[in-house]
Structure 1
Amino acid sequence: MKKKFLLAVIVVLLITNVATLLIWNNDENVILDNNDTKIDQKKPVATVNGEEIPYEQWMKSLRGNYGEEQLKGMINQAVVKQLADEKNIKINDKVIAREIALLTSMQSPMSAEEMKQKEDEWREDILYRYQLGALLTADSSIPEEEIKAHFDEYGDQYNFQASLQISHIIVPNFETAEKVKKELDNGASFDLLAQEYSTDEETKASGGYLGLFVNESKFLPGGYLEAASSMDEQTYSDPFQSDTGVAIIYLHQKLPSITFEYDEIKPYIKRELALGESNQTLTADPLWDKLDIDWVYEE
């Protein structure tokens, strides 16, 4: 068995209640979060009416309240990665792409930079969950006919339909639309212009956000699908006549269709059925005995 040395408390002390990562280094400053915000260890982290809260007191509280839970999560990640590497467990890129598409479809609009950061976080979590599921069900046996029957009945649920995430600004005429377009060209915020100019009372308060629509959706106003089909993500259209006025649309995301043949999705259906039939929860605890683990909270 491989030896897993975890020096987490010395090297890394962890998180606020929103999973902020605190990374120690040899300088006076430490990185507070993913935005590279720095704090000085020698200065108080807060003052209340002149009363200081020292850095060390804050660290002690974090260690006591979050240290064990976060360290266990890090160990789980390491355990699953090591065992998955040993057993050469790979996850189909299409499966990961489908999961990312589903998660994206549930999000409010994000910038390209925000989306990239989210996708990286999601990808790591998706890979962990699927590899964990594969490890937990490695010795399970599900009859081929049961897997095939499940696919025949529920196979469409594993697919993802091509979708568009759209905001819009509706104005009464092309003269106003061209004025809005000029402001957009000069760098104005689409959200703020929607709040100022749009006649769509249902969406203007949210910056014109309409939502996510499958490409065949009958709920998209006339002309929107045609306009969006030639647009790049994170861009806005020229003004065009729509059902309810003159429209300018903003295309946040263009999510492609993802479909699976039986052989592509079969291993994942098998794991899903095996987990359900065994009433196993998706936890790495049963895998700890497969590696030699030392950690500071060990009894």
Structure 2
Amino acid sequence: MRVSRLVLWSIILLLLITNITTIFILSGKNNSDEFVVLDENPVDRNQPLAEIGDEEVLYQDWMNELIEQYGESVLHDLIDKEVVFQLAEDKDLEVHPKIIDRELSRMMVMQGVLSEEEKEKKIEKWTEQIKYRYYLQQLLSEDVSVSEAEIEEYYQFYQNQYQFDDMVQLSHILVSTQQEAEYVMARLDDGEPFNEVAKDLSIDEESRTDGGYLGFYSETSSFIPREYYDTAISLEAGTYSEPILVNNGYAIIFHHQHLPAIELNYDEVYEEVRQDVALDQLQAEVDASALWDQIEVELNYKNEKN
């Protein structure tokens, strides 16, 4: 199935956020020796970062290598971001709130179990990234002529990609007999963590090592028994079910969170659809550097070796 550029970029951005380990931000607090790395993990700049036999890897060696390898690329990314947001502000661009909610839900589906604090931090980062990609696409496609008929035809053909289906995040503990299920319930009711009981007792080999975690599923998913979704959706987040009878035993379901369906009508996704049609016509890479000439950019650093 075809997916929109915004969906694809949501996935790409999530992978970047998850895997990039080379973006650094100075703490800037009274010339402190601490250096903030990604998730605010401090690094003492006066201590070796690693010791290998008699040799040491020093902070400055590390930084020199990172700047050499990634410095110019990261600098360009920062410039791209600032250019896009400045132009978006100048042109009063906006993203429909339901589009942001939809993309946040799609990115959340690719996560495991998160605490409320972790969710808040990620949602803040993701929201900025979603706006950036939407504004970038709008800026790059604003001068492309697209007819109303083309937009409507495209929407009718691909309209499902602009929606988000209701999904529930769940874990389970699967056992063979009712007696075993009652033992599971006794341990859970005594306050033992669901994931620990799952590791001890679940007979589902695929999920047991992950504490019974299964992931996000919709009502129409064929990868879990229908009873799982129906049971999970009836629970409050953070609670578990009574044992339910399934084909291969008895299951206790834990409901982590519910992501409700997000349905957007034609008017709400009109601009996003127009962007997709226009960018298809351009057949060019979505690259913010094409916008640099619309705003004053003075680049003072360049890695001559690249």
Decide whether the 8 Å contact of 2:35 with 2:45 is kept in 1: no
Moved more, 119-128 or 181-190: 181-190
1:18 aligns with one of 13, 18, 21: 21
2:123 aligns with one of 111, 114, 119: 119
Task: Measure, in 2, the Cα distance between the counterparts of 1:70 and 1:176.
Answer: 54
- Which residue matches 2:160? 156
- Which residue matches 1:3? none
Task: Measure, in 2, the Cα distance between the counterparts of 1:94 and 1:281.
Answer: 26
Tell me the alpha carbon deviations over residues 226-282 of structure 1, each in whole angstroms, 9 at most, x when there is no partner: 322232334322333344332211123311111121111111111111111011211
Task: Measure, in 2, the Cα distance between the counterparts of 1:225 and 1:17.
Answer: 34
Aligned length: 284
- Which residue matches 1:64? 68
Task: Measure, in 1, the Cα distance between the counterparts of 2:47 and 2:187.
Answer: 45
Task: Measure, in 1, the Cα distance between the counterparts of 2:222 and 2:49.
Answer: 54
Amino acid at match of 1:41: R
Tell me the alpha carbon deviations over residues 177-203 of structure 1, each in whole angstroms, 9 at most, x when there is no partner: 343234334553433322321123443
1:170 deviates by 1.4
Q: Structure 2 vs 1, CA of residues 106 and 24 (structure 1 numbering), >3 Å: closer, same or farther? A: closer
1:31 deviates by 3.0
Answer yes or no: is 1:142 the counterpart of 2:151.
no
TM-score (norm 1): 0.85
Q: Structure 2 vs 1, CA of residues 134 and 42 (structure 1 numbering), >3 Å: closer, same or farther? A: same
Decide whether the 8 Å contact of 1:20 with 1:32 is kept in 2: no
Amino acid at match of 2:22: A
2:53 aligns with one of 36, 43, 49: 49
Moved more, 116-125 or 213-222: 213-222
Matches within 5 A, 1:66-105: 66-105=70-109
Moved more, 85-94 or 38-47: 38-47
Secondary structure at the counterpart of residue 173 of structure 2: strand
Task: Measure, in 2, the Cα distance between the counterparts of 1:42 and 1:219.
Answer: 52
* Aligned alpha-carbon RMSD (Å): 2.4
Amino acid at match of 2:21: V
Structure 2 residue runs of 5 or longer lacking an equivalent are: 1-18
- Which residue matches 1:183? 187
Matches within 5 A, 1:1-299: 18-25=21-28, 26-217=30-221, 219-221=223-225, 223-297=227-301
Secondary structure at the counterpart of residue 294 of structure 1: coil
1:147 deviates by 0.5
Amino acid at match of 1:190: F
Amino acid at match of 1:159: Q
- Which residue matches 1:13? none
Task: Measure, in 1, the Cα distance between the counterparts of 2:166 and 2:117.
Answer: 22
Q: Structure 2 vs 1, CA of residues 39 and 157 (structure 1 numbering), >3 Å: closer, same or farther? A: closer
Tell me the alpha carbon deviations over residues 99-133 of structure 1, each in whole angstroms, 9 at most, x when there is no partner: 22222333344444433333333222111100000
Decide whether the 8 Å contact of 1:231 with 1:237 is kept in 2: yes
Q: Structure 2 vs 1, CA of residues 35 and 182 (structure 1 numbering), >3 Å: closer, same or farther? A: farther
The percent of aligned pairs where both chains have the same amino acid is 36
TM-score (norm 2): 0.83
Structure 1 residue runs of 5 or longer lacking an equivalent are: 1-15
Secondary structure at the counterpart of residue 65 of structure 1: helix
Tell me the alpha carbon deviations over residues 25-61 of structure 1, each in whole angstroms, 9 at most, x when there is no partner: 3334223324432222222222211322222222222
